[in-house]
Chain A
């Protein structure tokens, strides 16, 4: 939390109290230098859960961040769930102007986790790969990670759709193909942990659905769906 946001938060709390608090201070009690009046009018438009949030650069708090993809299996009779366990994110965020934010994600495709049970090689002796995770990560018909070692998303346009919701459109680069993708995002709030001092932690959910064939991955359609649902829930920590 910066001094500036503390000040904005303080004046905003006053503004809220002045609107409807039970112990409304009279206007004569309030210190009203012009600079604070300006801050108040700006902060008053913020949702309460955004008021104390620092405008700053944030980085993914990797111990509280989950990225999963789901595809339909067997012609859509069940959802097959895969997690990415190594990915990073950078977020530049101003609570007063969320549409000016920028977001990037970088995902290591070698980090897929399928939670395959048992001995993969026992049932797949002909596979070129040691595990199903490795097959999904490295096989040319799947994520082909040796040729394309990063999956990236770089935001290009952010639109607020509600007080705490919005869309984040950006360029997704998967298998060397770059296409625009729009994430539906919700802001979940602010936390502060003593071990992170004054640094803010903000949480988000995001989801989208892509067609993998648009990125050149067409294997096993329709037994495995072309549509891929992508889900994120996690936290971003204000940079030091």
Chain B
């Protein structure tokens, strides 16, 4: 357990920006996603000229974290593909567009594939607070290895969680959707899909 005063540092220009992340004193063990502070987005290029970003709004993750040897950690993520927020600027069409994106066979085809999942297979520490997490991403029923670039942001201890640690991470990767069998609108929407996560994990109760 650490105190805010210890970890609160100067903010840099790029967020998150804990100037003094530490693994000292961080509990090892099971952590669960703290869903009120967790963001998962995917971005495709539209016509090659702009980024189209969609939030997944219903996803969960379990992290078995080894603070002494982070490379021994394990991560499992489960995403509900029907829970999308496109921020489409017309309320009625937004509902239709998100339903189409979620369920159409050209897109996330959620009726047939109701879960997108990621299970880590290998974690490598590349810096004091950086690493890669390779795992199997299962999307549209196809499993392929994917490697996330991960940064550890530090630990917080808000009083309402008592002694339970809260640890923050950012993670990103880029996949080619064609490798999972999705090639629709190939000339308009990029094959590359950038995936970004930033969020917190809460130490599970004993």
**Which residues of A are interface residues toward B (Cβ below 8 A)?**
62-66, 68, 70-81, 83, 85-86, 113, 115-118, 188-191, 201-205, 209, 222-223, 225-227, 229, 233-235
Given A63-B89, A118-B35, A203-B47, list of 13 further CB < 8 A pairs? Answer: A65-B89, A70-B198, A72-B17, A73-B16, A74-B154, A77-B154, A78-B200, A79-B170, A80-B198, A83-B85, A117-B57, A234-B50, A235-B49
Bound complex: CA A211 to CA B137 (Å): 38
Among B21, B35, B87, B88, find the residue whose CB has the most chain A CB atoms closer than 10 A. B87
With a cutoff of 8 Å between Cβ atoms, the chain A residues found around residue B169 in the complex are 78
Q: Are B36 and A116 in contact (CB under 8 A)?
A: yes
B88 touches A63 (CB 8 A): yes
A233 and B37 contact, CB distance less than 8 A: no
Binding site for A on B (CB under 8 A): 4, 7-9, 11-19, 21, 35-39, 41, 43, 46-53, 55, 57-58, 85, 87-90, 153-156, 158, 166-170, 198-200
Inter-chain contacts of A117 with B (CB < 8 A): 35-36, 57-58
The answer to whether B48 touches A76, judged by C-beta atoms less than 8 angstroms apart, is: no
Residues of A within 8 A of B47 (CB): 189, 191, 201, 203, 235
CB contact between A191 and one of B11, B49, B167 (< 8 Å): that residue: B49
Residues from chain B with Cβ under 8 Å of A203 in the complex: 46-50
Chain A residue nearest to B2 (CB atoms) is A75
Q: Which residues of B contact A76 (CB under 8 A)?
A: 7-9, 11, 15-19, 153-154, 168
Contact A233/B36 with A72-B18, A86-B89 known, Cβ cut-off 8 Å: no
Among B35, B39, B50, B166, which residue has its beta carbon within 8 angstroms of that of A64?
B50
**A209 CA / B198 CA spacing, docked (Å):** 18
Counted as pairs of residues, one from A and one from B, with CB atoms less than 8 Å apart, the total is 156
Complex Cα–Cα for A197 and B15 (A): 41
Q: A64-B50, A72-B17, A117-B36 are contacts. A77–B156 as well, Cβ < 8 Å?
A: yes
B12 contacts which chain A residues (CB < 8 A)?
227
| Contact of A115 with B57 in the complex, beta carbons under 8 Å | yes
Q: Is the CB of B16 within 8 A of A190?
A: no
A-B contact pairs, 14 of them (CB 8 A): A63-B90, A66-B87, A70-B15, A72-B11, A75-B4, A77-B7, A77-B154, A78-B153, A80-B39, A115-B55, A191-B48, A204-B50, A222-B8, A233-B53
**Which chain B positions have C-beta within 8 A of A205?**
50-51
Q: How far is the CB of B113 from chain A (nearest CB, A)?
A: 22
B37 surroundings in chain A (CB, below 8 A):
73-74, 78, 80
Question: Whole-angstrom distance from the CB of A198 to the nearest CB of chain B?
Answer: 16
